Amino acid sequence: MHASEKIKRVLEKAGEEGTLQSEIPGLTGLSKSTVSEILSVLEEEKEIVRKKVSGKSYRVWLIKYSPEPVKGVARVGILRASEYPRVVRASRKLNAYIRVYGSSIELTKDLVHSIVDIAASPFITQAFFGILMKNITIVRKVALNGGGLVFSGVESDYWGCSEFSTMERNLRKYFELKGLKGKIRYFRSPESMIKSLAELKAIAIWEPYFTMLEGRKELFSEQIGDYLCCTLAVNNSFVEQNPDLLESFLEEFDRAKVGKKDGEVLAEMIGFSEEIITKSFQNYDFYPEQEFKREELEELRFGGLEGVIRLD
């Protein structure tokens, strides 16, 4: 194995904690001088970042795990969903690092803590963290719709969904519209929710899981009308460090048109079949009007949203 690959493997294993430079020779079997020389090259190529922690001691991370924004680098977080072909296209155009998450809360927390610089996650989640932490800004709507109810066929008082999410908001609207008094059981992941479907009346789930599942289904958009799902937010420190890079990213996002190739790319990235992803695209509006409507903001019943949203 090449010496640089040995070092990168150590740093990959260290993840967000990073590794002291002084520990790398012992972990790789390389000399101190070789490690120092290779790290300088990797730093120049923007593959790693070093930060002085004390005296002559440095901690080292792979760029994608850097604890703060890096000049000239964009790290983008998305969820395991079909909603992001335009986000992925913009990311690939700018050679951004893309990280796939299973939880919208974990993704948005990492945005707040500068583990990622740009994140696509539910509007409600970003709005909450934005008001609470005051260090992220919503810059685009990603898409409308893209989820619904999948029924089990059994009688139960319980309905499943993810907590603090677009699906929960939609499910509560559905209850109100239908005059139902269902009980909600929350799940940390779509996979665990699907496993428990036989114990529930139905689950509120997003694409591509909605398209993938069989049985009686109802699209939320056909029951409650169009709704905003995810938005694109940035960490404010990244904006200060890379204002031009952010504008380039947004320009690429704005001009991106969703096509068949995007289904292939996204399918490989999030681990679904291309057929399912491409079919699920039909249940989205990928080109929403970017200006927020008053009712979209008032619906959340959050104060202070004006300072969190920047839509051109």
For residue 85, give Cα distances in angstroms to 142, 208, 230.
9, 13, 13
Query: Has residue 312 got a pLDDT over 70?
Result: no
What's the mean per-residue pLDDT of the chain? Answer: 93
Verify cis geometry, omega within 30 degrees of 0, for the bond prior to 208.
yes
Cα separation values, 106 from 77, 80, 287, Å: 10, 13, 26
Continuous segment of H or E residues that includes residue 166? helix 166-178
3-state SS, residue 101: strand
Residue 244 token pair = 């031009």
One DSSP character per residue, 49-100 reads EEEEEETTEEEEEEGGG-SS--TT--EEEEESSTT-HHHHHHHHHTT-EEEE
Q: Is 164 helix (H, G, I), strand (E, B) or coil?
A: coil
Is residue 139's pLDDT more than 60? yes
Where is pLDDT greater, at 284 or 306?
284
Q: Is 13 exposed, middle or buried (0-12, 13-18, 19+ CB in 10 A)?
A: exposed
CB 222 within 8 A of CB 158: no
Output the CA torsion sign for 252, 255, 261, 266. Answer: positive
Entry pTM = 0.91
- Per-residue confidence (pLDDT) for residue 298, from 0 to 100: 62
Q: Name which residue leads in pLDDT, 151 or 312.
A: 151
Token pair of 254, please? 């704005």
Nearest to 167 by CA among 219, 100, 101, 131: 219
- Which neighbouring-strand residues pair with 158? 183
pLDDT(302) > 80: no
Per-residue pLDDT, averaged over 126-134, amounts to: 90
Percentage of residues in the chain having pLDDT higher than 70: 94
C-alpha to C-alpha distances, 187 to 125, 157, 289, nearest whole angstrom? 16, 16, 31
Residue among 215, 262, 213 at smallest CA distance from 83: 262
Q: Which two tokens stand for residue 219?
A: 């699209």
| Cβ-contact 17, 33 below 8 angstroms | no
The pLDDT score that the predictor gives to residue 106 is 94
Structural domains in the chain plus CATH codes: 3-65 (1.10.10.10), 75-143+229-307 (3.40.190.10), 147-224 (3.40.190.10)
- Band of the pLDDT at 308, cuts 50, 70, 90? confident
Q: How far apart are CA 235 and CA 115, in angstroms?
A: 9
What is the pLDDT averaged over residues 193-211?
Answer: 97
> Looking at the predicted structure, is the pLDDT value of residue 227 above 60?
yes
Between the CA of residue 114 and those of 85, 120, 283, what are the distances in Å? 23, 14, 32
Residue 100 banded pLDDT, cuts 50, 70, 90: very high
Cα–chain center distance at 84 = 9
Contacts of 173 (CB under 8 A, 6+ apart): 224
**Continuous segment of H or E residues that includes residue 53:** strand 48-54
Of residues 239 and 295, which shows the higher confidence score?
239
Q: Take residue 82 and report the two structure tokens written for it.
A: 């079909």
pLDDT single digits (tens) 5-15: 999 999 999 99
Structure tokens at 225: 């009308």
The pLDDT tens digits of the residues spanning 15-63 come to: 999 999 999 999 999 999 999 999 999 999 999 999 999 888 999 999 9
Residue 296, Cβ neighbours under 10 Å: how many? 15
Query: According to the model, what pLDDT value does residue 291 have?
Result: 83
| Stretch 63-73: mean pLDDT | 95
The two three-digit tokens of residue 284, written as one number: 């989205």
What confidence score (pLDDT) does residue 274 get? Answer: 97
* Per-residue pLDDT tens over the stretch 233-283: 999 999 999 999 999 999 999 999 999 999 999 999 999 999 999 999 999
